[in-house]
Structure 1
Amino acid sequence: MVNFMLMITADFENIASLQPQGGCDDPNFYYLFKVKCGNCGEVSQKETCVTLNETVQQAKREVHLLQKCKFCARDGTVTMIPGKGRPLTSELAEEGKYAPVMLFDCRGYEPVDYIFGSGWSAESAAGTKYEGIDLSGEDFSEYDEKGECPVMISNPRSKFEVVK
């Protein structure tokens, strides 16, 4: 069993924080990534989707993903561990540092290539809240009436770090 922390960063303009809508432990937020088999090294062709509110029974425990490797037929599981994430703040983003979002307990698989999608929320430096942000394509940009300035989130990046 190895734990992997999803870490994110982005470039901000007049943004104070970014996180999954409803917080890092939002049960309805979907995490999309590919998985690499720990046995044969095969990386899944399609993205895997996991969310806190969907579980599968595996032996004597519940997991968020139970999947068989298409190459070697070995089972692998991914279990999400809430309570370890926090928003990406402007201070972290300005320093080029990453913020932890979600912890994954992986058995037989390793998460790779996180895919940013929709369902993100941000708060501007002036306190305006933005919800339903889609980071899958172009940059997010708006005009903050309250702060009388443009706001933008660009160049979202992610990595998975092994956590002991």
Structure 2
Amino acid sequence: MVNFMLEIKAELENLTDLRPQGGCDDENFRYHFKLKCGHCGEITQKETYVSLVETVPLPIGKGHTHLVQKCKFCGRDGTITMITGRGRPLTHADSEAAKSAPLMLFECRGFEPLDYVFRGEWEAKSLEGTKFEGIDLSGDEFAEYDEKGECPVMVSKPSATFNVVR
């Protein structure tokens, strides 16, 4: 078992607290990525997703997990379980310092997550406090105007990495 922390970075202009709409632990938000088999090294051609609301029984033993998938090359099963309470939004200060923010922790057995894809709806607030919802980062950029703060707001160059944590 290895734990992988999904960490995100982005350039935030006049925005702070970028996160999945509803929060990092929103049970309906889908995290999309590819998988690498821990046994044979095969990388899935298609991306898969996990969400907190969708669980399946473990193939062996008791309990549930968020994903059970069989490697198409070697036939081994792998699981991914999401661990809540470890993520936080990406702040303006993080962006200014070119730092990343932890978003979600994944306990992986037999698979390694790769190539996170920014899908779904995101939210952030302007430095003046205006809330922006329904942000689509699939096109690598979001731009709008904050009427209250009388300034442009933008999210650009979103990137993500999976880092091993102990």
TM interval, short-chain normalised: over 0.9
Gaps spanning 5+ residues in structure 1: where? none
Identify which of 67, 70, 94 aligns with 1:68: 70
Hey, what's the Cα distance between the residues in 1 that align with 2:140 and 2:66? 29
Per-residue displacement from partner, 1:91-112 (whole Å, max 9, x unpaired)? 0111110000000000000000
Q: Secondary structure at the match of 1:76?
A: strand
Q: CA RMSD in A?
A: 0.7
Number of the residue aligned with 2:48 = 48
The question of whether the paired residues in 1 share the 8 Å contact of 2:123 and 2:135 is answered with yes
TM-score by length of 1: 0.98
Hey, what's the Cα distance between the residues in 2 that align with 1:122 and 1:65? 29
Identify which of 139, 142, 145 aligns with 1:140: 142
Poorly superposed stretches of 4+, deviation over 3 Å:
none
Hey, what's the Cα distance between the residues in 2 that align with 1:105 and 1:152? 33
Identify which of 140, 153, 156 aligns with 1:151: 153
Q: Secondary structure at the match of 1:84?
A: coil
Number of the residue aligned with 2:117 = 115
Hey, what's the Cα distance between the residues in 1 that align with 2:121 and 2:138? 10
Gaps spanning 5+ residues in structure 2: where? none
Identify which of 120, 124, 129 aligns with 2:126: 124
Hey, what's the Cα distance between the residues in 2 that align with 1:117 and 1:93? 20
1:157 deviates by: 0.5
Identify which of 102, 105, 129 aligns with 2:104: 102
Q: Secondary structure at the match of 2:93?
A: helix
Number of the residue aligned with 2:35 = 35
Q: Is 2:91 the counterpart of 1:89?
A: yes
Hey, what's the Cα distance between the residues in 1 that align with 2:13 and 2:129? 13
The question of whether the paired residues in 1 share the 8 Å contact of 2:24 and 2:87 is answered with yes
Hey, what's the Cα distance between the residues in 1 that align with 2:121 and 2:2? 27
1:37 deviates by: 0.1
1:118 deviates by: 2.2
The range that moved more, 136-145 or 151-160, is 136-145
1:138 deviates by: 4.1
Identity %: 64
Number of the residue aligned with 1:11 = 11
Paired residues in the alignment total 164
